[in-house]
Chain A
Amino acid sequence: MLTALVLLPVVAAIVVMLVPGGRREVHLPLGIALSIFPLALAGYLFWVFEPAAGFQYVDRVTWYEPWGIDWHLGVDGISLPMVVLTTLLVPIALAASTSIDRRIKEFVVYTLFLEAGLIGAFLSLDLFLFFVFFEAMLIPMYFIIGIWGSERRIYAAMKFLIYTAFGSALMLAAIIGLALTHVDQTGSASFALSDLAALDLSVGAERLFFAAFAIAFAIKVPLFPFHTWLPDAHVEAPTAGSVLLAAVLLKLGTYGLLRFNMALFPEASVDAIPIMAILAVIGIIYGAVVAIVQPDLKKLVAYSSVSHLGFIVLGTFALTSGGLQGAVIQNVNHGLTTGALFLLVGMIYDRRHTKKIADFGGLQKTVPLLAGFFLFMTFASIGLPGLNGFIGEFLVLMGSFPALPSLTVIAALGVVLAAIYLLWAYERVFTGVPDKDENKALSDLSAREIALLAPLAALIVVIGIYPGLLLDKITPSTEAVIDHVVEQTDFVVPEPGRIADVHVAGDEG
């Protein structure tokens, strides 16, 4: 089933390619229609998924015997939500791309390839395979930014590509290092996650490999100070690109830290808690502060991502039940809300051909529905209880506090800052009297646009009041991560009931 899930978008892409060019009105609807199939399959997978069963629906076929590389896919409670999120957002992103006026066929094809790469990366249990997917998705994303982006698209696309490829190179080195170590220790070659996780690494090697993986993922998240590619990429990317970039691509970073760093290098992960947590908190505060004064609405949302993803990394490295659950569910939540915010910015851009906050004012008067959705997503992003963002943030904060009290208190400041940058932006864009002529005659959301936003809004409410829908699936897998780390190291989970600052105090060595 999982192989089918990866291949369905590829098949869809091929079908779209085969339809003769020049018929613009055909390719986009066709792409949207075909992208429903992966969504349906992922929905079915979500339905039949057994939370307690660990990795399941495993497909394992030998790919290149001498090197021990397998086509090896499996799904657990950490990857499942990401796969569903990906398949959900692709049709929406495509349907939001009606304003793309050239080379639409290629655009659809690239987006579908991107989807395949993302699903493959989330499902891979073989490190080589993961790397292939991880790299492969750069290609379509690069073109999506580079071809359909705005003025400085080439610069942004190059920056995105080079930055990510740099991290990938480090990771590839570490993957090969791990594989060679495996040959050393067992005499046979393997890239399987479970095999490599069982290796007995020296402290130095483990830390080195950890660093290589961590940098690759930190660039992807992005963690401060590796974040400056993100605002550029977002500002230049077309709406669909921004949506998928923020909602899913970035999550490969947080996902990778949780899936690979924790599994492969538990000892080094525990040792790195102070560093990672500090970087996460810097990201939360720094991203938010920088977002406040951004003159470009899209850039503002991009920086808000830097801030929000910091919470995910913080929760991950708190290594408590609440922290990890919060991190995984926040992966989804951020995807929904920020994806929706980018959609809305795109809808505003389609109408006004500008993203500069100063060009707006009083839009609530002219486009009340759009304003209503924007405000809704704003509050979801701010972490209003009853909506999804709160669940992730609250779990992360409550879960991290026993482990990292001082850092968590600082991180909580991000909650105040989020209200400042988003509500101030809302005030400047939507309230007041529309005084510029261009803003007076805008049309409100069309039925198509409402249809794109409504499912996201509905999910945001559902997760907000019944997070068990996701948490029930997630929890056994996050507990397994904690158990793994506890088994492999002398780490003691800082349970609530006693506040211990041991990790910040630093128990290096």
Chain B
Amino acid sequence: MIKSELIQRLAEDNPHLFQRDVERIVSTVFDEITNALARGDRVELRGFGAFSVKKRDARTGRNPRTGEAVPVPEKSVPFFKAGKELRERMNTSD
């Protein structure tokens, strides 16, 4: 499923909303999550999962082609952990 299909399904379930509004609602939700992570906040959605930011320490990497050592600066990466309910549903469907 891609974003446009998600919007399509939501629009079908909510015929009283304009498709344009459904698009804005979907964007608002994902933007809100991204903005929270950009601030370093966590987003916890019970039953679904939690988004958080993990810190990766600076390290010395290596250019795989030349073998040359290159410094890799410290960085933050977005991380998602599936919630218990979703994990269980994914494993009991068949």
A binds B: no
Residues of B near any A CB (own CB < 8 A): none
